[in-house]
Amino acid sequence: MIRNALQPWHLLIVVLAIVVLFGSKRLPDAARSVGKSLRILKSETRALKDEDAQREQ
């Protein structure tokens, strides 16, 4: 039962529901803000790793 839980048409239904809920005009803005958030998270993670590397030396 779990093997067949996520079929391609399930993903299509989820995408369609998101478009209906948020509207096609707001989706690019939402995607842009998610991208910015991921870039910030990545840079902060990299900065923390660099700080740890400097402390070890």
Question: Cα dihedral angle (8, 13, 18, 21), rounded to 10 degrees?
Answer: 180
| Domain-located, residue 4 | no
* 47 within a domain of the structure (yes/no): yes
pTM of the model as a whole = 0.57
- The token pair at 21 is 């809920």
6 within a domain of the structure (yes/no): no
The token pair at 14 is: 């989820």
String of DSSP letters for 19-38: HHHH-TTTHHHHHHHHHHHH
Q: Is 12 contained in some domain?
A: no
The residue ranges of DSSP E strands in the chain, in sequence order, are none
Per residue in 9-57, pLDDT (tens digit) is 888 898 889 888 888 788 888 889 999 999 999 999 999 999 888 887 7
For residue 48, being part of any structural domain is answered with yes
Please tell me the total count of domains within the chain. 1
Note whether residue 31 is domain-resident. yes
The answer to the question of residue 49 being in a domain is yes
Domain of 38, in residue numbers: 24-57
For residue 2, what pLDDT is reported?
61
